[in-house]
Amino acid sequence: MYTLDDFQNGQVLLVDKPLEWTSFQVVNKIHWLIRKQYGIKKIKVGHAGTLDPLATGLLLICTGKKTKQIQELMGADKTYTGTICLGATTASYDLETEVIPHANPSSVTEKQLKITSDQFLGHIQQKPPIFSAIKQKGKRLYEHARLGEQVNIESREVIVHEFEITEINLPDVAFRIRCGKGTYIRSIANDFGEVLGVGGYLKSLCRTAIGNNTLADSMSIDTFERNLKASS
């Protein structure tokens, strides 16, 4: 159960982000629930690491004085599970945009998948998706993309500690990845398909851990709301 002092002194809430919610919408919902519960106008609330709307899983929500730890929490390794669909591509590298057939992936072997996944381990150069929130020329990349503007996206170094193929049911390939800060799993999905020569996009994604914080210990927004109401 919670008190107002708990939130003002600082909480790190482990929330299971619903599908199609933005991370900002989760922050706004938590912020509104706390303000409503205690009849206050202001309290700091933020998140430590954005999840795309089409991704689910662990989102760390910081309140009060704990918002000062957001940058530290964002630097922790993150673990994801998900599915790459081979044989097609999309402009956003996920299902936000139209699926464009590329090549038949039926001849791709388990050995090829293993060899290819190993190529993404360690320090790698990666281009963020054009449909991302990174700022360039004063606008988010997705704003340039939606206006049909061409922008030069520079590669950046990221680190992938583990890339495990967990199930193969072509065209779908299930995976588990543990990586460092700033890694775009959508870009890995796109690049993975490109290396195989058949194309690929991210079909589903779930963040299962941030550092020592795990999805298994998280709660839904509805559960948080019930617990908050029970605190009165």
**pLDDT tens, 196-222?**
999 999 999 999 999 999 999 999 999
CA distances 181 to 77, 91, 184, 194, Å, are 6, 23, 9, 23
pLDDT for 216 equals 98
Distance in angstroms (rounded) separating the CA atoms of residues 82 and 51: 13
Q: Tokens for 124?
A: 């790698």
For residue 176, give the nearest of 57, 66, 87 by alpha carbon. 57
What's the mean pLDDT in 109-127? 97
Q: Decide if pLDDT at 4 tops 50.
A: yes
What's the mean pLDDT in 12-25? 96
Distance in angstroms (rounded) separating the CA atoms of residues 160 and 77: 9
Q: Decide if pLDDT at 137 tops 90.
A: no
pLDDT for 231 equals 84
**Given the residues 16, 52, 94, 191, the one annotated as active site:** 52
Instruction: Work out whether strand 200-210 and strand 56-63 pair parallel, antiparallel, or are unpaired.
Output: parallel
Q: Tokens for 221?
A: 């927004």
Question: pTM (2 decimals)?
Answer: 0.91
Residue of higher predicted confidence among 53 and 219 = 219
For residue 17, give the nearest of 79, 52, 59 by alpha carbon. 59
pLDDT for 135 equals 56
Burial class (CB in 10 A: 0-12, 13-18, 19+), 54: middle
State the DSSP H helix or E strand holding residue 161, giving kind and residue range, or none if neither: strand 156-169
- Residue 21: phi and psi, rounded to 5, are -85, 140
pLDDT for 146 equals 57
Mean pLDDT over the full length of the chain: 92
Lowest mean pLDDT among 32-41, 60-69, 125-134, 161-170: 125-134
**Is 191 marked active-site?**
no
Burial profile 9-39: b = 16 or more Cβ within 10 angstroms, e = fewer = ebbebbbbbbeebebeebbebbbebbeebbe
Q: Tokens for 179?
A: 């990586």
